[in-house]
Amino acid sequence: MALIVQKYGGTSVASVERIKQVAERVAKFKMLGHQVVVVLSAMSGETNRLINLAKEIQTEPDPRELDVLVSTGEQVTIALLAMALKDLGLRARSYTGSQVRIITDSAFTKARILDIDNQRLHDNLDAGCVVVVAGFQGVDEEGNITTLGRGGSDTTGVALAAALHADECQIYTDVDGVYTTDPRIVPNARRLDTITFEEMLEMASLGSKVLQIRSVEFAGKYKVKLRVLSSFEEDSGGTLITFEDNRTMEQPIISGIAFNRDEAKITVLGVPDTPGVAYQILGPVADANIDVDMIIQNTGADHTTDFTFTVNRNEYARAMDLLETLKPKLGAREIIGDKTIAKLSIVGVGMRSHVGIASTMFKTLAKENINIRMISTSEIKISVVIDEKYLELAVRVLHDAFELDKQPVI
Ligand code: ADP
Ligand code: ASP
Ligand code: MG
């Protein structure tokens, strides 16, 4: 008997029919003698619908109230699944994040899980119940409802698996695993049987939304056995996130391509080149809780600096307003921004031991006349910022150039 946490995403619970199918899959695991905890997302489109309702009232919705609102989506699906399970003759109970005591900090809309009180879960499991938990949500120490950021049900799933010392956390979605890149953009993308934890961490942080980044961080920290599978197909095996790289020299250097359209670029032009400039610009940005991603600083011959960085597109307006107010203090000539950019990254642990990857990447983009606006590298990834309109073309030509569609020879 194993303890399994299964998380089902929005498309997997998009209708009553789909929910009944999830109930049947859960029942199958239960019949095999396993204990099952199920974590659910809201029906697909529901979270967006709720956010749009809020925006009809406030252009920048109050974060606390937004969390009260959007957390309702998951409450609908858990109740329906618990009913469907009972209808199949199983014992089941649904719980909201707050009822399970998923304690988070108070950073509304992007809260972090601090603690999970798993007593109630264990009691229910011991009594033979399937426990159905609302993903994406928790409660802070003052009793306020919080949510974990978009895609946060993945993190609920992995965090519960860690707290319960589950044997496996299965993430059921609308694709049958992690692919070399988003299969919606590149039809000949290839499913990976395994991907290293490090690579998955990079892919997720660089925009592959198949797993929320924090869920991968949790899996790494608590060594949760994590698998991505299809809820639409039977027994595909999916993709296992591995903690060791057992691959041989013949394995590919690049494992995948990730991209992110949610980026915007801001440049502070002509700031005097003095110590502390980066802090003067980025300190207030951080204080305003705006995440900064890539950063470039260029000093010209006239001893002024152009300082460019990227932020999440939905924080762009706030960041631009903030910098406009800082402009006189910074002594900057101008603040300019661009919301039509995208970031594309190639990821692979093999990059550690191979040279020439960057030049292949840049040559491939140059051949298509795609201008690179920013570059950043780490040991196992190379990221470029390009115009958003070239993104899909860039992903496809790079997928071909690195032959990611081909099964590596072992
Ligand atoms: P869910 O609602 O189940 O959480 P998501 O939409 O959040 O599903 O994530 C699944 C989607 O992630 C897929 O439909 C796919 O378009 C996208 N995706 C992006 N990059 C990848 C990748 N490398 N491998 C698989 N899917 C990817
Ligand atoms: N329903 C939430 C969202 O759409 C959480 C999730 O699906 O993981 O972001
Ligand atoms: Mg998701």
pLDDT averaged over 10-residue windows placed end to end, the chain, 410 residues: 97 98 97 97 98 96 97 98 98 97 96 94 96 98 97 98 97 96 96 94 95 96 96 87 67 89 95 90 94 89 90 94 94 95 94 90 97 94 97 98 83
Tell me, yes or no, whether 372 lies in a domain.
Answer: yes
- Point out the ligand 1 atom lying closest to the alpha carbon of residue 154: 4
In a domain, 135, yes or no: yes
Amino acid at 264: A
**Last residue in a domain, options 143, 174, 205:** 174
Q: Residue 70 falls within a domain, yes or no?
A: yes
Instruction: Give the closest residue (by CA) to ligand 1 atom 25.
Output: 178
Q: Is 260 in the pocket of ligand 1 (CB under 6 A)?
A: no
Same structural domain, 285 and 149: no
For position 234, what pLDDT does the model report? 79
Atom of ligand 1 nearest to the CA of 172: 3
In a domain, 96, yes or no: yes
- Is 350 part of a structural domain of the chain? yes
16 and 140 share a domain?
A: yes
Asked whether residue 116 falls in the same domain as residue 11, the answer is: yes
- Residue 245 domain flag: no
Count up the domains in the chain and report the number: 2
Residue 272 and residue 147 in one domain: no
| Whether residue 239 has its Cβ less than 6 Å from ligand 1 | no
Shared domain check, 299 and 167: no
Pocket of ligand 2 (CB under 6 A): 9-10, 41-42, 47, 73, 135-136, 150-154
CB 136 within 8 A of CB 8: no
User: Residue 35: its pLDDT value, please?
Assistant: 98
Residues 306, 372: Cα–Cα separation, whole Å: 17
Q: Read off the CATH number of the domain in which 53 is found.
A: 3.40.1160.10
The residue whose CA has the least distance to atom 9 of ligand 1 is: 210
Distance 44 CA to ligand 3 centre (A): 10
| Residue 263 and residue 359 in one domain | yes
pLDDT at 246: 60
Residue 40 belongs to what domain range? 3-174
What pLDDT does 249 receive?
A: 46
- Cα 207 to averaged position of ligand 1 atoms, centre (Å): 10
| 147 and 295 part of one domain | no
Give the pLDDT of residue 409.
Answer: 60
In a domain, 97, yes or no: yes
In a domain, 247, yes or no: no
Of the residues 142, 174, 206, which one is the last residue of a structural domain? 174
Residue 10 CA to ligand 3 centre (angstroms): 7
Structure tokens at 355: 């040279």
Q: Does 179 sit in the ligand 1 pocket, CB within 6 Å? A: yes
Asked which of 144, 174, 204 is the last residue of a domain, the reply is: 174
| Sheet with 292-299: strands ordered across | 292-299, 304-312, 263-272, 334-338
Cα separation of 367 and 243, whole Å? 37
Domain holding 269: CATH number? 3.30.2130.10
